[in-house]
Amino acid sequence: MAEQCEMVIGYLVPHRCENPSLGTCTKCGRGFCDEHTNQRKEGRVCLACQQGLDIPVALPIAATLFTATDLDTFGRSSTWDDNDSSDVFSDLS
C-alpha cells in the first residue's frame, strides 16, 4: 500500500493529495485517504473508480487531459521538500 494518497487533485496545479493513505480501493488497488474513498457494499472504493475513470484523478474532466507520464510527474513533484532553500521560484512573466 502506498504511504501517500494516490489521488491527483487540483486542476490548474495538479498534484498528488498530501494526506496519508489509509487503505486501498477494492476495485483498482491503489492507496487512498479517507477523503477520496467511500464505503460501498463491496468495500472502500475510490472516487475515480466510482466515476468509471481509469486514472486516479478527482476531477473527471482532468482524466481526459492527463497521460500516464503526467501522473508520474505529479507524483514525483509531490516529494519535493518545501523547506529546501536550494529550490528557487522563477517568475517568467
Rg (CA), the chain: 14
Q: What are phi and psi of 88, to 5 degrees?
A: -125, 130
For the stretch 62-72, pLDDT in tens is 666 777 788 77
| Cell, residue 33 | 485517504
- Residue 73: pLDDT over 60: yes
Q: 39 pLDDT band (50/70/90 cuts)?
A: very high
- Residue 43: pLDDT over 90: yes
Residue 47, number of CB atoms within 10 A of its CB: 20
Task: Return the percentage of the chain with pLDDT > 90, whole number.
Answer: 41
Q: What is the mean pLDDT of residues 3-32?
A: 91
**β-pairing verdict for 31-32 and 8-9:** unpaired
Instruction: Fill in the DSSP letter of residue 82.
Output: T
Q: What are phi and psi of 76, to 5 degrees?
A: -70, -35
pLDDT the model gives residue 57: 84
CA 82 and chain centroid, separation: 18
| Cell, residue 22 | 489509509
